[in-house]
Homo-oligomer: A and B are copies of this chain.
Amino acid sequence: MFPETSSKSSASPAEPKGKRPPVLVDGVTLNGPTLDIREAESFLRDAMPIIMEEAVRKATDVKEKVCEWRSPEQLKEVLDLELRDGGEANPKILQRCRDAIRYSVKTGHPRFFNQLYAGLDPYSLVGRFITEALNPSLYTYEVAPVFILTEEAVLKKMIEIIGWTEGGDGLFSPGGSVSNMYAVNVARYQRCPNVKELGLSAMPRLVMFTSEECHYSVAKAAAFLGIGTKNVYVIRSDKRGKMIPAEFEKQVQRAKDEGALPFMVNATAGTTILGAFDPLEEIADICERHSLWMADSVAWNPHKMLLAGLQCCAFMVRGQTDILQRCHSANASYLFQQDKFYDISYDTGDKSIQCSRKPDAFKFWLMWKALGTKGLEERVDRALAMARYLAEEIKKREGFRLVMEPEYANVCFWYIPPSLRSTPEGPDASTPPQPQVAPVVKERMMKKGSMLVGYQPHGDKVNFFRQIIISPQVSREDMDFLLDEINTLGKDL
Protein backbone atom coordinates (compact mmCIF):
# COMPACT_ATOMS: atom_id res chain seq x y z
CA MET A 1 0.00 0.00 0.00
CA PHE A 2 2.85 2.38 0.75
CA PRO A 3 5.55 1.45 -1.74
CA GLU A 4 9.16 2.02 -0.94
CA THR A 5 10.59 5.32 -1.93
CA SER A 6 12.69 4.63 -5.01
CA SER A 7 15.56 6.96 -5.70
CA LYS A 8 16.33 7.46 -9.37
CA SER A 9 19.98 8.37 -8.98
CA SER A 10 20.41 10.79 -11.82
CA ALA A 11 22.47 13.34 -9.94
CA SER A 12 25.33 14.42 -12.15
CA PRO A 13 28.73 15.30 -10.68
CA ALA A 14 28.16 18.90 -11.77
CA GLU A 15 25.17 19.29 -9.45
CA PRO A 16 25.52 21.75 -6.60
CA LYS A 17 26.80 20.31 -3.40
CA GLY A 18 24.08 19.11 -1.08
CA LYS A 19 21.49 18.58 -3.79
CA ARG A 20 19.86 15.23 -3.32
CA PRO A 21 18.86 12.75 -5.99
CA PRO A 22 15.22 12.94 -7.10
CA VAL A 23 12.75 10.92 -5.11
CA LEU A 24 9.96 9.10 -6.89
CA VAL A 25 6.82 7.94 -5.11
CA ASP A 26 4.05 6.31 -7.12
CA GLY A 27 5.70 7.60 -10.27
CA VAL A 28 5.71 11.20 -9.04
CA THR A 29 8.98 13.10 -8.66
CA LEU A 30 8.94 14.90 -5.35
CA ASN A 31 12.06 17.02 -5.52
CA GLY A 32 11.56 20.74 -5.84
CA PRO A 33 8.29 22.60 -6.27
CA THR A 34 6.25 21.90 -9.42
CA LEU A 35 4.76 25.36 -9.45
CA ASP A 36 7.37 27.84 -10.62
CA ILE A 37 6.59 30.96 -8.67
CA ARG A 38 8.57 33.17 -11.05
CA GLU A 39 6.40 32.01 -13.93
CA ALA A 40 3.38 32.61 -11.75
CA GLU A 41 4.54 36.15 -11.05
CA SER A 42 5.17 36.74 -14.70
CA PHE A 43 1.60 35.69 -15.50
CA LEU A 44 0.32 38.02 -12.81
CA ARG A 45 2.39 40.86 -14.25
CA ASP A 46 0.86 40.24 -17.67
CA ALA A 47 -2.65 40.10 -16.26
CA MET A 48 -2.54 43.20 -14.06
CA PRO A 49 -2.47 45.78 -16.89
CA ILE A 50 -5.52 44.10 -18.40
CA ILE A 51 -7.36 44.28 -15.10
CA MET A 52 -6.32 47.89 -14.55
CA GLU A 53 -7.29 48.99 -18.05
CA GLU A 54 -10.44 46.95 -18.61
CA ALA A 55 -11.89 46.26 -15.17
CA VAL A 56 -10.88 49.54 -13.50
CA ARG A 57 -10.26 52.38 -15.95
CA LYS A 58 -12.75 51.58 -18.70
CA ALA A 59 -15.22 50.01 -16.30
CA THR A 60 -15.55 53.30 -14.41
CA ASP A 61 -15.48 55.59 -17.44
CA VAL A 62 -18.83 57.28 -17.97
CA LYS A 63 -18.17 57.32 -21.73
CA GLU A 64 -17.97 53.52 -21.85
CA LYS A 65 -20.89 51.12 -21.72
CA VAL A 66 -22.26 49.82 -18.43
CA CYS A 67 -22.76 46.44 -20.04
CA GLU A 68 -22.23 44.67 -23.32
CA TRP A 69 -25.40 42.63 -23.50
CA ARG A 70 -25.39 39.07 -24.84
CA SER A 71 -28.12 36.51 -24.32
CA PRO A 72 -27.15 33.42 -22.31
CA GLU A 73 -26.95 31.40 -25.53
CA GLN A 74 -24.74 33.94 -27.31
CA LEU A 75 -22.50 34.40 -24.31
CA LYS A 76 -21.98 30.67 -23.83
CA GLU A 77 -20.73 30.50 -27.37
CA VAL A 78 -18.39 33.46 -26.98
CA LEU A 79 -16.93 32.27 -23.69
CA ASP A 80 -16.33 28.59 -24.58
CA LEU A 81 -17.13 27.52 -21.06
CA GLU A 82 -16.39 23.82 -21.21
CA LEU A 83 -13.67 22.45 -18.96
CA ARG A 84 -11.40 19.94 -20.68
CA ASP A 85 -8.66 17.50 -19.82
CA GLY A 86 -5.89 19.64 -21.27
CA GLY A 87 -4.87 23.09 -20.11
CA GLU A 88 -4.47 26.28 -22.11
CA ALA A 89 -1.46 28.52 -22.62
CA ASN A 90 -1.17 31.87 -20.88
CA PRO A 91 -2.03 34.07 -23.89
CA LYS A 92 -5.29 32.18 -24.26
CA ILE A 93 -6.04 32.61 -20.55
CA LEU A 94 -5.32 36.33 -20.78
CA GLN A 95 -7.78 36.56 -23.66
CA ARG A 96 -10.33 34.77 -21.47
CA CYS A 97 -9.74 37.43 -18.81
CA ARG A 98 -10.41 40.17 -21.36
CA ASP A 99 -13.59 38.45 -22.50
CA ALA A 100 -14.84 37.86 -18.98
CA ILE A 101 -14.37 41.54 -18.18
CA ARG A 102 -15.83 42.72 -21.48
CA TYR A 103 -19.12 40.89 -21.04
CA SER A 104 -19.47 41.59 -17.36
CA VAL A 105 -21.70 44.33 -16.05
CA LYS A 106 -19.61 47.22 -14.78
CA THR A 107 -20.96 47.72 -11.29
CA GLY A 108 -18.34 50.43 -10.70
CA HIS A 109 -19.64 52.49 -13.63
CA PRO A 110 -21.18 55.84 -12.66
CA ARG A 111 -24.41 54.79 -14.36
CA PHE A 112 -24.87 51.45 -12.64
CA PHE A 113 -27.93 52.15 -10.48
CA ASN A 114 -29.40 48.66 -10.48
CA GLN A 115 -28.72 47.46 -6.95
CA LEU A 116 -28.19 48.75 -3.45
CA TYR A 117 -24.46 48.85 -4.07
CA ALA A 118 -22.39 50.58 -6.74
CA GLY A 119 -19.13 52.36 -7.40
CA LEU A 120 -15.50 51.57 -6.89
CA ASP A 121 -13.40 52.76 -4.00
CA PRO A 122 -9.66 52.40 -4.66
CA TYR A 123 -8.71 51.87 -1.02
CA SER A 124 -11.22 49.12 -0.55
CA LEU A 125 -10.05 47.55 -3.81
CA VAL A 126 -6.42 47.56 -2.68
CA GLY A 127 -7.52 46.02 0.60
CA ARG A 128 -9.27 43.29 -1.35
CA PHE A 129 -6.28 42.63 -3.58
CA ILE A 130 -4.14 42.27 -0.47
CA THR A 131 -6.46 39.81 1.21
CA GLU A 132 -6.95 37.81 -1.97
CA ALA A 133 -3.19 37.52 -2.38
CA LEU A 134 -2.67 36.56 1.26
CA ASN A 135 -5.71 34.25 1.30
CA PRO A 136 -6.28 34.27 5.05
CA SER A 137 -9.09 32.66 6.97
CA LEU A 138 -10.44 34.33 10.03
CA TYR A 139 -10.81 31.58 12.62
CA THR A 140 -7.71 32.04 14.74
CA TYR A 141 -5.21 34.75 15.63
CA GLU A 142 -2.38 32.39 14.80
CA VAL A 143 -3.21 32.38 11.07
CA ALA A 144 -4.84 35.80 10.67
CA PRO A 145 -3.47 38.19 13.31
CA VAL A 146 -3.84 41.40 11.30
CA PHE A 147 -7.32 40.53 10.12
CA ILE A 148 -8.59 39.48 13.53
CA LEU A 149 -7.47 42.82 14.94
CA THR A 150 -8.77 44.98 12.10
CA GLU A 151 -12.15 43.27 12.39
CA GLU A 152 -12.16 44.04 16.10
CA ALA A 153 -11.24 47.68 15.48
CA VAL A 154 -13.91 48.18 12.83
CA LEU A 155 -16.60 46.56 14.95
CA LYS A 156 -15.63 48.68 17.93
CA LYS A 157 -16.07 51.86 15.91
CA MET A 158 -19.33 50.72 14.34
CA ILE A 159 -20.69 49.86 17.77
CA GLU A 160 -19.69 53.33 18.94
CA ILE A 161 -21.56 54.87 16.00
CA ILE A 162 -24.66 52.78 16.72
CA GLY A 163 -24.53 54.32 20.16
CA TRP A 164 -24.20 51.30 22.41
CA THR A 165 -22.26 52.97 25.20
CA GLU A 166 -22.28 49.67 27.09
CA GLY A 167 -20.25 48.10 24.27
CA GLY A 168 -21.02 45.15 22.08
CA ASP A 169 -19.71 42.17 20.19
CA GLY A 170 -19.92 41.20 16.55
CA LEU A 171 -18.48 39.61 13.45
CA PHE A 172 -18.53 40.01 9.70
CA SER A 173 -20.75 37.62 7.80
CA PRO A 174 -21.15 36.68 4.14
CA GLY A 175 -24.08 38.96 3.46
CA GLY A 176 -26.88 40.82 5.15
CA SER A 177 -29.14 37.80 4.73
CA VAL A 178 -26.78 35.72 6.82
CA SER A 179 -26.58 38.56 9.35
CA ASN A 180 -30.36 38.43 9.65
CA MET A 181 -30.10 34.69 10.27
CA TYR A 182 -27.60 35.38 13.04
CA ALA A 183 -30.08 37.81 14.56
CA VAL A 184 -32.86 35.23 14.55
CA ASN A 185 -30.60 32.57 16.02
CA VAL A 186 -29.23 34.77 18.77
CA ALA A 187 -32.67 36.12 19.65
CA ARG A 188 -34.11 32.64 19.90
CA TYR A 189 -31.15 31.40 21.94
CA GLN A 190 -31.52 34.34 24.29
CA ARG A 191 -35.17 33.42 24.81
CA CYS A 192 -34.71 29.63 24.90
CA PRO A 193 -31.08 28.75 25.67
CA ASN A 194 -31.70 25.02 25.42
CA VAL A 195 -32.86 25.31 21.81
CA LYS A 196 -29.24 24.84 20.76
CA GLU A 197 -29.19 21.35 22.18
CA LEU A 198 -32.81 20.28 22.06
CA GLY A 199 -33.99 21.92 18.88
CA LEU A 200 -37.31 23.51 18.07
CA SER A 201 -39.30 20.33 18.32
CA ALA A 202 -38.89 20.60 22.11
CA MET A 203 -39.99 24.27 22.18
CA PRO A 204 -43.32 26.04 21.98
CA ARG A 205 -44.12 27.52 18.57
CA LEU A 206 -41.84 30.53 18.18
CA VAL A 207 -43.16 33.57 16.35
CA MET A 208 -41.21 36.47 14.91
CA PHE A 209 -42.37 39.75 13.37
CA THR A 210 -41.43 41.90 10.46
CA SER A 211 -43.07 44.50 8.26
CA GLU A 212 -44.47 43.77 4.82
CA GLU A 213 -41.72 46.01 3.43
CA CYS A 214 -38.86 44.03 4.92
CA HIS A 215 -36.07 42.34 2.97
CA TYR A 216 -36.88 38.86 1.68
CA SER A 217 -34.06 37.39 3.73
CA VAL A 218 -36.29 37.47 6.80
CA ALA A 219 -38.52 34.82 5.22
CA LYS A 220 -35.43 32.88 4.14
CA ALA A 221 -34.08 33.00 7.68
CA ALA A 222 -37.35 31.73 9.13
CA ALA A 223 -37.38 28.82 6.68
CA PHE A 224 -33.70 27.96 7.09
CA LEU A 225 -33.63 28.15 10.86
CA GLY A 226 -36.65 25.90 11.20
CA ILE A 227 -39.00 28.62 12.46
CA GLY A 228 -41.23 28.33 9.39
CA THR A 229 -42.36 31.17 7.15
CA LYS A 230 -45.90 31.04 8.56
CA ASN A 231 -44.49 31.88 11.96
CA VAL A 232 -43.27 35.18 10.61
CA TYR A 233 -46.16 37.48 11.36
CA VAL A 234 -46.16 40.23 8.80
CA ILE A 235 -47.04 43.69 10.04
CA ARG A 236 -48.71 46.27 7.86
CA SER A 237 -46.74 49.33 6.88
CA ASP A 238 -48.02 52.81 6.30
CA LYS A 239 -48.12 54.55 2.92
CA ARG A 240 -44.48 55.53 3.23
CA GLY A 241 -43.43 51.92 3.90
CA LYS A 242 -42.91 52.22 7.66
CA MET A 243 -44.06 49.56 10.07
CA ILE A 244 -47.20 50.63 11.97
CA PRO A 245 -46.39 50.17 15.68
CA ALA A 246 -50.01 49.62 16.72
CA GLU A 247 -50.28 46.81 14.16
CA PHE A 248 -47.12 45.30 15.55
CA GLU A 249 -48.48 45.20 19.06
CA LYS A 250 -51.72 43.64 17.76
CA GLN A 251 -49.75 40.86 16.12
CA VAL A 252 -47.76 40.24 19.28
CA GLN A 253 -51.00 39.91 21.17
CA ARG A 254 -52.37 37.57 18.52
CA ALA A 255 -49.34 35.29 18.86
CA LYS A 256 -49.73 35.25 22.63
CA ASP A 257 -53.44 34.52 22.38
CA GLU A 258 -52.60 31.57 20.14
CA GLY A 259 -50.29 30.20 22.81
CA ALA A 260 -47.19 30.81 20.70
CA LEU A 261 -43.98 32.38 21.97
CA PRO A 262 -43.17 35.72 20.30
CA PHE A 263 -39.44 36.30 20.49
CA MET A 264 -38.20 38.95 18.05
CA VAL A 265 -39.02 41.65 15.57
CA ASN A 266 -37.00 42.64 12.53
CA ALA A 267 -37.09 46.41 12.09
CA THR A 268 -35.62 47.95 8.96
CA ALA A 269 -33.60 51.15 8.63
CA GLY A 270 -33.89 51.74 4.90
CA THR A 271 -36.25 49.25 3.28
CA THR A 272 -35.17 47.57 0.07
CA ILE A 273 -37.56 49.22 -2.34
CA LEU A 274 -38.80 52.44 -0.81
CA GLY A 275 -35.86 53.18 1.48
CA ALA A 276 -38.22 53.64 4.43
CA PHE A 277 -37.14 53.70 8.06
CA ASP A 278 -39.30 51.82 10.53
CA PRO A 279 -40.12 53.85 13.70
CA LEU A 280 -37.37 52.22 15.73
CA GLU A 281 -38.06 53.94 19.04
CA GLU A 282 -41.74 53.06 19.12
CA ILE A 283 -41.03 49.49 18.09
CA ALA A 284 -38.38 49.23 20.78
CA ASP A 285 -40.88 50.36 23.41
CA ILE A 286 -43.26 47.61 22.39
CA CYS A 287 -40.40 45.09 22.44
CA GLU A 288 -39.55 46.10 25.97
CA ARG A 289 -43.12 45.59 27.11
CA HIS A 290 -43.21 42.11 25.62
CA SER A 291 -39.57 41.03 26.11
CA LEU A 292 -38.86 40.79 22.40
CA TRP A 293 -35.47 41.05 20.69
CA MET A 294 -34.90 44.03 18.40
CA ALA A 295 -32.45 46.86 19.15
CA ASP A 296 -30.32 44.18 20.80
CA SER A 297 -28.63 43.47 17.49
CA VAL A 298 -27.87 45.33 14.27
CA ALA A 299 -27.06 44.08 10.79
CA TRP A 300 -25.18 46.73 8.83
CA ASN A 301 -23.73 46.31 5.33
CA PRO A 302 -20.87 48.71 4.58
CA HIS A 303 -20.69 47.21 1.09
CA LYS A 304 -23.75 49.26 0.21
CA MET A 305 -23.73 53.00 0.84
CA LEU A 306 -20.18 53.01 2.17
CA LEU A 307 -18.68 51.34 -0.94
CA ALA A 308 -16.61 48.81 0.95
CA GLY A 309 -17.10 46.22 -1.81
CA LEU A 310 -19.03 42.97 -1.78
CA GLN A 311 -19.13 41.48 0.76
CA CYS A 312 -18.79 43.56 3.84
CA CYS A 313 -21.53 42.87 6.36
CA ALA A 314 -21.34 43.34 10.09
CA PHE A 315 -23.61 41.67 12.59
CA MET A 316 -23.44 43.17 16.05
CA VAL A 317 -25.01 42.46 19.42
CA ARG A 318 -25.37 44.94 22.24
CA GLY A 319 -23.59 44.86 25.57
CA GLN A 320 -20.77 43.04 27.27
CA THR A 321 -21.91 39.64 26.19
CA ASP A 322 -20.50 36.31 25.08
CA ILE A 323 -23.78 35.28 23.48
CA LEU A 324 -22.26 34.87 20.00
CA GLN A 325 -19.76 32.42 21.39
CA ARG A 326 -22.27 30.51 23.50
CA CYS A 327 -24.88 30.39 20.79
CA HIS A 328 -22.61 29.27 17.93
CA SER A 329 -19.61 27.51 19.41
CA ALA A 330 -18.74 23.90 18.71
CA ASN A 331 -15.22 23.88 20.23
CA ALA A 332 -13.29 22.16 17.43
CA SER A 333 -10.17 20.73 19.00
CA TYR A 334 -7.96 21.13 15.91
CA LEU A 335 -8.51 24.90 15.68
CA PHE A 336 -9.34 26.19 19.12
CA GLN A 337 -6.71 24.47 21.20
CA GLN A 338 -6.84 25.53 24.82
CA ASP A 339 -3.10 25.12 25.43
CA LYS A 340 -1.88 27.88 23.09
CA PHE A 341 0.75 30.32 24.27
CA TYR A 342 -1.19 33.48 23.39
CA ASP A 343 -4.48 34.95 24.61
CA ILE A 344 -7.02 32.68 22.93
CA SER A 345 -9.82 35.20 23.31
CA TYR A 346 -8.45 36.42 19.96
CA ASP A 347 -9.41 33.11 18.33
CA THR A 348 -12.83 34.43 17.43
CA GLY A 349 -13.81 31.84 14.84
CA ASP A 350 -16.14 29.86 17.05
CA LYS A 351 -18.52 32.82 17.28
CA SER A 352 -19.31 32.17 13.65
CA ILE A 353 -21.44 29.59 11.86
CA GLN A 354 -18.70 29.43 9.24
CA CYS A 355 -15.37 27.69 9.57
CA SER A 356 -13.19 29.41 6.96
CA ARG A 357 -14.25 33.04 6.80
CA LYS A 358 -13.03 35.89 4.62
CA PRO A 359 -11.46 38.98 6.24
CA ASP A 360 -14.15 41.34 4.99
CA ALA A 361 -13.46 44.01 7.59
CA PHE A 362 -9.94 44.75 6.38
CA LYS A 363 -10.85 46.53 3.13
CA PHE A 364 -13.32 48.64 5.07
CA TRP A 365 -10.71 49.44 7.70
CA LEU A 366 -8.20 50.54 5.06
CA MET A 367 -10.77 52.72 3.29
CA TRP A 368 -11.89 54.20 6.60
CA LYS A 369 -8.28 55.03 7.48
CA ALA A 370 -7.88 56.78 4.13
CA LEU A 371 -11.12 58.76 4.19
CA GLY A 372 -11.75 59.18 7.89
CA THR A 373 -15.20 59.12 9.40
CA LYS A 374 -15.80 62.57 7.95
CA GLY A 375 -14.98 61.40 4.46
CA LEU A 376 -17.46 58.56 4.73
CA GLU A 377 -20.07 60.93 6.13
CA GLU A 378 -19.61 63.35 3.26
CA ARG A 379 -20.21 60.59 0.76
CA VAL A 380 -23.47 59.63 2.39
CA ASP A 381 -24.60 63.25 2.68
CA ARG A 382 -23.87 63.80 -0.98
CA ALA A 383 -25.75 60.70 -2.08
CA LEU A 384 -28.79 61.86 -0.11
CA ALA A 385 -28.56 65.37 -1.55
CA MET A 386 -28.34 63.81 -5.01
CA ALA A 387 -31.51 61.81 -4.32
CA ARG A 388 -33.29 65.02 -3.37
CA TYR A 389 -32.09 66.71 -6.52
CA LEU A 390 -33.38 63.83 -8.63
CA ALA A 391 -36.75 63.90 -6.89
CA GLU A 392 -37.11 67.61 -7.64
CA GLU A 393 -36.18 67.06 -11.28
CA ILE A 394 -38.76 64.29 -11.57
CA LYS A 395 -41.41 66.62 -10.24
CA LYS A 396 -40.47 69.22 -12.84
CA ARG A 397 -40.48 66.90 -15.84
CA GLU A 398 -43.50 65.91 -17.85
CA GLY A 399 -43.99 62.17 -18.10
CA PHE A 400 -42.29 61.41 -14.80
CA ARG A 401 -44.08 60.84 -11.55
CA LEU A 402 -42.65 60.18 -8.11
CA VAL A 403 -44.08 57.18 -6.29
CA MET A 404 -43.38 59.13 -3.11
CA GLU A 405 -40.98 61.68 -1.74
CA PRO A 406 -37.69 59.92 -1.01
CA GLU A 407 -36.66 59.55 2.59
CA TYR A 408 -33.30 58.02 1.75
CA ALA A 409 -31.23 57.20 -1.37
CA ASN A 410 -34.05 55.30 -3.10
CA VAL A 411 -35.96 57.41 -5.59
CA CYS A 412 -39.00 55.55 -6.92
CA PHE A 413 -40.81 56.88 -9.97
CA TRP A 414 -42.87 56.04 -13.00
CA TYR A 415 -42.22 57.07 -16.55
CA ILE A 416 -45.28 57.63 -18.71
CA PRO A 417 -44.62 57.86 -22.46
CA PRO A 418 -46.38 60.66 -24.36
CA SER A 419 -48.96 58.37 -25.95
CA LEU A 420 -50.12 57.28 -22.53
CA ARG A 421 -50.40 60.72 -21.02
CA SER A 422 -54.08 61.53 -20.87
CA THR A 423 -54.01 65.29 -20.91
CA PRO A 424 -51.63 67.23 -23.09
CA GLU A 425 -51.12 69.84 -20.40
CA GLY A 426 -50.33 67.30 -17.69
CA PRO A 427 -50.05 66.69 -14.80
CA ASP A 428 -49.75 62.95 -15.05
CA ALA A 429 -51.49 62.28 -11.77
CA SER A 430 -54.67 61.42 -13.60
CA THR A 431 -53.02 58.77 -15.78
CA PRO A 432 -52.55 55.27 -14.46
CA PRO A 433 -48.98 54.14 -15.18
CA GLN A 434 -48.63 51.12 -17.44
CA PRO A 435 -46.86 48.02 -16.10
CA GLN A 436 -45.17 47.14 -19.41
CA VAL A 437 -43.31 50.45 -19.77
CA ALA A 438 -40.50 49.78 -17.28
CA PRO A 439 -39.59 46.29 -18.58
CA VAL A 440 -39.36 47.55 -22.16
CA VAL A 441 -37.28 50.58 -21.21
CA LYS A 442 -35.07 48.28 -19.13
CA GLU A 443 -34.58 45.88 -22.05
CA ARG A 444 -33.61 48.74 -24.31
CA MET A 445 -31.13 50.25 -21.85
CA MET A 446 -29.48 46.87 -21.31
CA LYS A 447 -29.13 46.23 -25.02
CA LYS A 448 -27.77 49.73 -25.53
CA GLY A 449 -25.59 49.49 -22.43
CA SER A 450 -26.16 53.11 -21.49
CA MET A 451 -27.13 52.57 -17.86
CA LEU A 452 -28.75 50.08 -15.51
CA VAL A 453 -31.62 50.88 -13.19
CA GLY A 454 -34.00 48.51 -11.44
CA TYR A 455 -37.78 48.31 -11.51
CA GLN A 456 -40.42 46.22 -9.80
CA PRO A 457 -44.11 46.12 -9.02
CA HIS A 458 -44.83 46.75 -5.35
CA GLY A 459 -48.04 46.07 -3.48
CA ASP A 460 -50.85 47.60 -5.52
CA LYS A 461 -48.42 49.71 -7.56
CA VAL A 462 -47.46 48.60 -11.06
CA ASN A 463 -43.82 48.47 -12.20
CA PHE A 464 -41.85 51.57 -11.27
CA PHE A 465 -38.18 52.44 -11.46
CA ARG A 466 -36.12 52.38 -8.29
CA GLN A 467 -33.13 54.64 -8.66
CA ILE A 468 -30.43 54.24 -6.01
CA ILE A 469 -27.69 56.79 -5.55
CA ILE A 470 -24.56 55.60 -3.84
CA SER A 471 -21.29 56.24 -5.58
CA PRO A 472 -19.23 59.43 -5.33
CA GLN A 473 -18.48 58.92 -9.03
CA VAL A 474 -22.08 59.89 -9.74
CA SER A 475 -22.80 63.49 -10.62
CA ARG A 476 -25.80 65.72 -11.11
CA GLU A 477 -25.23 65.28 -14.84
CA ASP A 478 -25.83 61.54 -14.43
CA MET A 479 -29.19 62.26 -12.78
CA ASP A 480 -30.18 64.44 -15.71
CA PHE A 481 -28.93 61.77 -18.08
CA LEU A 482 -31.01 59.12 -16.34
CA LEU A 483 -34.23 60.99 -16.95
CA ASP A 484 -33.30 62.05 -20.48
CA GLU A 485 -32.31 58.51 -21.35
CA ILE A 486 -35.48 56.92 -20.01
CA ASN A 487 -37.44 59.38 -22.11
CA THR A 488 -35.29 58.66 -25.17
CA LEU A 489 -35.72 54.93 -24.74
CA GLY A 490 -39.41 54.98 -23.94
CA LYS A 491 -41.03 57.94 -25.68
CA ASP A 492 -42.34 55.82 -28.59
CA LEU A 493 -44.18 53.41 -26.32
Contact = CB atoms under 8 A, between A and B. Distances in A.
Nearest to A309: B135
B87 A372 contact: yes
Interface stretch (A315-323, A373-381, A422-430, A485-493): A373-381
A106 B134 contact: yes
A291 to B, nearest CB: 19
Interface in A320-357: 327-328, 330-334, 337, 339-343, 346, 353-357
Given A226-B200, A366-B96, A136 B149 contact: no
Contact of A439 (B47, B341, B477): B341
A135 B107 contact: yes
Most buried by B among A27, A71, A309, A328: A71
Contact of A343 (B72, B146, B309): B72
B228 A225 contact: no
A257 to B, nearest CB: 17
Given A201-B200, A227-B199, A215 B134 contact: no
Copies of this chain assembled into the complex: 2
Interface residues of A, number: 201
A31 B478 CA distance: 9
A252 interface: no
Interface stretch (A117-125, A243-251, A278-286): A117-125
A30 B386 contact: yes
Interface in A59-103: 59-61, 67, 70-72, 75-76, 79, 81-88, 90, 92-93, 96-97, 100-101, 103
A11 interface: no
A137 interface: yes
B129 A132 contact: yes
A255 to B, nearest CB: 13
Contact of A339 (B48, B136, B198, B439): B439
9 contacts: A25-B386, A28-B385, A30-B389, A41-B122, A44-B126, A84-B372, A129-B129, A200-B200, A202-B228
Contacts of A355: 175-177, 215-217
A220 to B, nearest CB: 5
A403 interface: no
A381 B24 CA distance: 12
A273 interface: yes
B133 A374 contact: no
Contact of A222 (B149, B199, B228): B199
A382 B362 CA distance: 35
A472 interface: yes
B366 A133 contact: no
A439 B100 contact: no
Contact of A133 (B23, B56, B346): B56
Interface stretch (A163-171, A233-241, A413-421, A450-458): A450-458
B35 A134 contact: no
Nearest to A84: B372
A371 interface: yes
A327 B83 CA distance: 29
B5 A389 contact: yes
Interface in A120-154: 120-123, 125-126, 128-130, 132-137, 141-150, 152-154
A154 B108 contact: no
A443 interface: yes
B198 A331 contact: no
A84 B373 contact: yes
A33 interface: yes
Nearest to A374: B85
A401 to B, nearest CB: 16
A163 to B, nearest CB: 16
A229 B134 contact: no
